[in-house]
Amino acid sequence: MADRGTIRVGHISALTWNQLKINEGIVPGLPELNRQMPSGLQALPEGVSCRSMTAAEAAKWLETHAPGQEAEKFVAGKVPIYHPQKFGTGLGAEYEQYLTDSNVRTDLIEAAAGAHPDRPLICRLEYQDGDCGASARILHLGEKAALTMIIDCTSGREAAGLAAVSTRAVLERGAHLTLVFAQTLGRRFLHLGDLGVSQADDARIDLVWLDLGARDSFAGLQFEQIGRRAAVTGAMGYLVRDEESVDINYNVIQRGRQTASSFDFDGVLDGQGRKAFRGTIDFRNGCCGSKGKEMERILLLSPDTVNRTLPIILCEEEDVEGAHGASIGRLNEDMLFYMGARGIDEKTARDIMVRARLHAVIRRIPEQDLQEKLYRFVEEAFADESLS
């Protein structure tokens, strides 16, 4: 695979000390793409259409349909953003440029105003060993449309390659998107999963994101809450084993009045797994009555894991409520003792509690087949491993 060099992804708006190595994610040796992934869409539900566009057409479409977005050069005139991006996404401008330079085509998936399909739209991205493939889409939900979209990104267990996935969503007034993204790529894969969402008045997104496979995974999520009462909830689960790494950046920019964001992150680190998490709640001037909260729970199973956590709140509005929290450590000894007292040996107790972390996120997926598949993936992941 030819090497396109290093790109930086998932920059935070407000930098901190460089020595902590958490201001951004570094993707070294990004290979050239060798495959445009097929759309992977199952049958389209009623009221939903899809057409393919070039990267230039996609950019022009976003310019027309998401006019509320500007490429910011500073956060509140204070903090320089060194990679301004017109339609913000979690991984940022360098990744977007990489896809553009690679002439990646974009599927424009539209749900008509008022459409309420009775079944989810499912996208299966099945990567083969050696694939360096990109897949990009724009979801456009018209006024008061409601859509559930499930993206299942997978490959064989020992497969190698690159999965570059991009999803951008424009939610019109009152639209409701339920978005599920599950990644169970092979253990030699590099995964780049990018999401950018623009929300008008009363638009809502409920996100479930599971990052379970791949050797190195970079996930970027950004939400622009431009409209009043825009809301987002997120549940994210990740599993990092052996020498794997995951790098997560999420950024909620709350501009409209009475906007709301709520995120829960649950992760398990084992082996020599490394994880970096940057989460930003950004209350902008004028977002009166807005609320933002975020919680991260990290379970450490091995003394060789490295965990980096940076939960940020930026605030320039008085009338808001923001909160974030983090809990980092091993399994609760009291709980292990409690279960031991009830005849459950320590290994079994640990297995139960580790699985419970991820199962709690998987349960939120509104599709039985994918749920079952992910339960099996978690079982197999730990079947031949000792949870120390």
Partner 1 sequence: MTNQKVDEIDRSIYDFRYEEDDFYRIQSGLTPEIVEKISEEKHDPEWMKQFRLKCLDIYNRIPVPRWGAPIDGLDMDDIATYVRANTDMKKSWEDVPDDIKDTFEKLGIPQAERAALAGVGAQYDSELVYHNVKDEVAQQGVIYSDLESALTGPHAQMIRDHFMKLVPPNDHKFAALHGAVWSGGSFVYVPPGIKVEIPLQSYFRLNAKGAGQFEHTLIIVDEGADLHFIEGCSAPKYNVANLHAGCVELYVRRGARLRYSTIENWSKNMYNLNTKRALVEDDAVMEWVSGSFGSHVSYLYPTTILKGRNSHCEFTGVTFAGQDQNLDTGAKMIHLGRNTSSFINTKSICKSGGISTYRSSVEIKKSAENAKAAVSCGSLMLDSRSRSDTIPAIVTETDRVDVGHEATIGRISDDAVFYLMARGLSEEDAKAMIVSGFASDVSKELPLEYAAEMNNLIKLEMSIG
C-alpha dihedral sign at 44, 47, 51, 56: negative
C-alpha–C-alpha distance, residues 152 and 137, integer Å: 14
Supply the minimum distance, in Å, between the C-beta of residue 7 and partner 1: 19
307 binding partner 1? (CB under 8 A): yes
Partners of residue 218 on adjacent β-strands: 192, 247
| Part of the chain binding partner 1 (CB under 8 A), chosen from 10-18, 211-219, 228-236, 356-364 | 10-18
C-alpha–C-alpha distance, residues 343 and 337, integer Å: 10
Which residues from 88-147 bind partner 1, rule CB under 8 A? none
Q: Would you say 156 or 289 has its CB closer to partner 1?
A: 289
Query: Which DSSP state fits 19?
Result: G
Describe the chain by its helix, strand, coil percentages, rounded to 5. 15, 45, 40
Q: Which residues contact 201 (CB under 8 A, 6 or more apart)?
A: 173, 174, 227, 228, 229, 230, 256
Supply the minimum distance, in Å, between the C-beta of residue 288 and partner 1: 8
Burial (CB < 10 A; 0-12, 13-18, 19+), residue 356, is: exposed
Q: Would you say 38 or 80 has its CB closer to partner 1?
A: 80
Binding mask of the shown chain, residues 68 to 87, with x at each position contacting partner 1 by CB under 8 A:
--------x-x---------
Chosen residue from 1, 41, 112, 306 binding partner 1 by CB under 8 A: 306
Q: Would you say 18 or 368 has its CB closer to partner 1?
A: 18
Binding residue count for partner 1, defined by CB under 8 A: 44
Contact 232, 241 (CB under 8 A): no
| Part of the chain binding partner 1 (CB under 8 A), chosen from 16-24, 183-191, 338-346, 374-382 | 16-24
How long, in residues, is the chain?
388
Binding mask of the shown chain, residues 320 to 359, with x at each position contacting partner 1 by CB under 8 A:
xxxxxxxxxxx-----------------------------
Which residues from 219-278 bind partner 1, rule CB under 8 A? 269
Supply the minimum distance, in Å, between the C-beta of residue 349 and partner 1: 17
In three-state secondary structure terms, 347 is helix
203 binding partner 1? (CB under 8 A): no
**Binding residues vs partner 1 (CB under 8 A):** 14-18, 20, 22-23, 76, 78, 269, 283, 285-286, 300-303, 305-330
